[in-house]
Amino acid sequence: MLAIKNGKFIVPNAAGDFVFREEGALLCEGEKIKGFVSEAEIPAGAEVIDAQGNYVAPGFLNVHIHGCAGADTMDCTEEALAKMARLQAETGVTGFLPTTMTCRWHEVEDALATVMDAMENKPAGAQILGAHMEGPFISPAKKGAQAEENIRKADYKLVKPWEKVVKIITLAPEELPDYDFADKCHAAGITVSIGHTAADYDKAIEAVREHGIHHFTHVYNAMTGFSHRVPGVVGAVFDTDAYCEIIADNVHSHPAAQRLLYHAKGGKNIVLITDSLRACGLGDGPSELGGQEVFVKGELATLKDGTIAGSVATMNRCVKIFWENTGASLPQIIEMVTKNPAQELGWYAERGSLTAGKRADIVIFDDEVSIQQTIIGGKKS
C-alpha cells in the first residue's frame, strides 16, 4: 500500500472541474487509487511519500509524440519504444501514443506491429496505450515535415488490421472522396483528427459538425490560418467545441497565439502535446525524422530548408509554458494533459484523475513543473 501526504492535490470537484485539495493523504492499493484518508488513518506498514508541499496530479498523457531520447516510433523496435517510455516517465507522462510518420506503408505497418507488441510486453516507464497515425492521408500542400512521396489516399482496408492499436488518425478532410473512411474509423473507436490540411473553414466545419470529426492536430501548424475574411481551419478550431492539440513550446505557437486559443475555447477541450522527435532530451546537433535530416538548436528543430520538424519539448515543459502564457489556473492546465485526452479517447473511467478506483498513475512536481516523482500503476517509476 502506498500513501502520499503533505501535497497540493489536484482533484475533480463535484462538477468534474479540477481544483486544489490540501487536506488528507492519497491512498493507493496495488495498481488502483483507494481514495483520500486523514494522515492519522494511513495504515501501519504503508509506504509513505511526503510530497513536501509540492503538487500531486494525475499522470500526464501524451497523445502525439514521435520520439525522444534518441529513439523514434519509426525505428520499429521495442528497444526504441522502451527508451521513449523511460524518458516520458521522467517528465511526468504515465501513458502515451507513439506516433507514426507519413512513410512507406510497410514501414507504418512495421511501426504499428511493434507498438502492438510493446503494449503486450509493457516496458518499464510510461504505458504505451496505442498509436497515433499522423498521415499518410494528408494534403501535399500542408505536408510540413512529412515526405510528400509517401502521401496516399485514405483506404480503410489499410487500417482495418490495426484497429486494436490505432487510437488517432490525422488526415486532411478535403482529400477524402466522402466520409465513409471516417465513419468506419468512428465505428472502430478510432478518433479522426483534422491536420496537415489545406481545407477551408467551411470544409472543416462540415467535418466537425456533420461528420463527427472532433479533433484537430497541432493547432496553427500545417493548416490554413485565420484571417478576418478567410477564417480557415484555425477559425473552425476557434468556432467549435472540438478537441484541439497544441504544442506549447513557444516555437510552434507564439505565446499570444496560445492565449488566443485558450480564450477562444474558453479553456475547454484543449490537449497539450509534445510532438517531439528523437532529438528531445539530447541537446543541440543533427538528428533525423522520417528519414530526413534535422538540425536542432535550442528549442528549434528544422529540416534543411528551414521547415519546423517537430519539437524537442517535454510535457512538463509544455505545461509550464502554457501556464505562464495563458494565466490559467494550474488545475485547469492539468486537465489539458490528463482529463481532456482521457475523456476524448474513452479512457477517463480508468485513468486521468485522482479518483478512487482509477489507476494509480500519479505525478508530483514543484512550481517550476520539475518532476519530483512519477508513480505508474501504484509503483514508483
In a domain, 350, yes or no: no
Number of domains in the chain: 2
Task: Find out whether 106 is annotated in a ligand binding site.
Answer: no
The sign of the torsion formed by the CA atoms of 27, 33, 36, 41 equals negative
Other Cβ atoms within 10 Å of 23 Cβ, number = 8
Q: Are residues 69 and 34 in the same domain?
A: no
Q: How far apart are the first and last CA of the chain?
A: 15
Indicate whether 23 and 165 sit together in one domain: no
What is the layout of strands, in order, in the sheet containing 285-289? 285-289, 292-297, 300-303
**Residue 199 maps to a domain:** yes
Q: Report the alpha-carbon distance of residue 99 to residue 116 in Å, rounded.
A: 13
Q: CB–CB of 133/168 below 8 Å?
A: yes
Is residue 335 located within the same domain as residue 290?
A: yes
**Pairing relationship of beta strands 2-5 and 25-29 according to DSSP bridges:** antiparallel
Residue 69 belongs to a domain: yes
85 is in an annotated binding site: no
Pull the grid cell for residue 269: 477541450
- Give dist(CA 315, CA 276) in Å, integer: 9
Cα 46 from chain centroid (whole Å)? 33
pLDDT of residue 74: 96
Per-residue pLDDT tens digits of the chain, which is 381 residues long: 999 999 999 999 999 999 999 999 999 999 999 999 999 999 999 999 999 999 999 999 999 999 999 999 999 999 999 999 999 999 999 999 999 999 999 999 999 999 999 999 999 999 999 999 999 999 999 998 888 999 999 999 999 999 999 999 999 999 999 999 999 999 999 999 999 999 999 999 999 999 999 999 999 999 999 999 999 999 999 999 999 999 999 999 999 999 999 999 999 999 999 999 999 999 899 888 877 888 998 889 888 888 888 799 999 999 999 999 999 999 999 999 999 999 999 999 999 999 999 999 999 999 999 999 999 999 998
pLDDT at 15: 97
| 155 occurs within a structural domain | yes
Q: Give the catalytic positions in this structure.
A: 275
User: Smallest Cα–Cα separation from 247: which of 195, 352, 321, 192?
Assistant: 321
Global pTM value: 0.96
Neighbours of 5 (CB within 10 A): 18
Which pLDDT score, from 0 to 100, does residue 290 have? 72
Q: Which residue has the cell 510528400?
A: 148
Report the CATH number that the domain containing residue 13 is assigned in CATH.
Answer: 2.30.40.10
pLDDT, residue 293, reads: 87
CATH code, domain with 212: 3.20.20.140
Residues 142 and 282 in one domain: yes
Q: Which domain holds residue 137?
A: 60-344
Q: Could you tell me the CA-to-CA distances from 352 to 61, 71, 235, 265, 378 in Å, in that order?
A: 8, 26, 29, 21, 14
The reported pLDDT for the residue numbered 304 is 84
Q: Is 229 known to sit in a ligand binding site?
A: yes
Per residue in 139-191, pLDDT (tens digit) is 999 998 888 999 999 999 999 999 999 999 999 999 999 999 999 999 999 99
Residue 349 lies in a domain: no
Greatest C-alpha distance within the chain: 66
For residues 323 and 230, state if they share a domain: yes
Same domain, 42 and 71: no
Instruction: Identify whether residues 290 and 248 lie together within a single domain.
Output: yes
Gap between the Cα atoms of 259 and 151, Å rounded: 33
Question: Would the annotation count 211 as a binding residue?
Answer: no
Distance CA 102, CA 134 (A): 7
Confidence at residue 144, expressed as pLDDT on a 0 to 100 scale: 86
- Whether 320 and 368 have beta carbons less than 8 Å apart is answered as yes
Residue 109 CB coordination number (10 Å): 16
Same domain, 198 and 238: yes
Q: Specify if 53 maps to a domain.
A: yes
Residue 251's alpha-carbon distances to 67, 90, 140, 266, 366, in angstroms, are 18, 23, 23, 23, 24
Q: List Cα–Cα distances, 209 to 22, 141, 235, 312, 375, in angstroms.
A: 41, 24, 14, 34, 39
Contact status, residue 351 vs residue 361, Cβ threshold 8 Å: yes
Residue type, 239: D
User: Rounded CA gap, 18 and 38, in Å?
Assistant: 21
Same domain, 289 and 201: yes
What pLDDT is stored for residue 146 in this prediction? 83
In a domain, 216, yes or no: yes
Are 88 and 162 within one domain? yes
For residue 326, the model assigns a pLDDT of 98
The answer to whether residues 162 and 40 belong to one domain is no
Tracing cell 459538425 back to the chain, one arrives at 209
CB 112 within 8 A of CB 124: no
Does 149 share its domain with 224? yes
Question: What distance in Å separates the CA atoms of residue 351 and residue 363, rounded to the nearest whole number?
Answer: 13
To the question of whether residue 359 is assigned a binding role by annotation, the answer is no
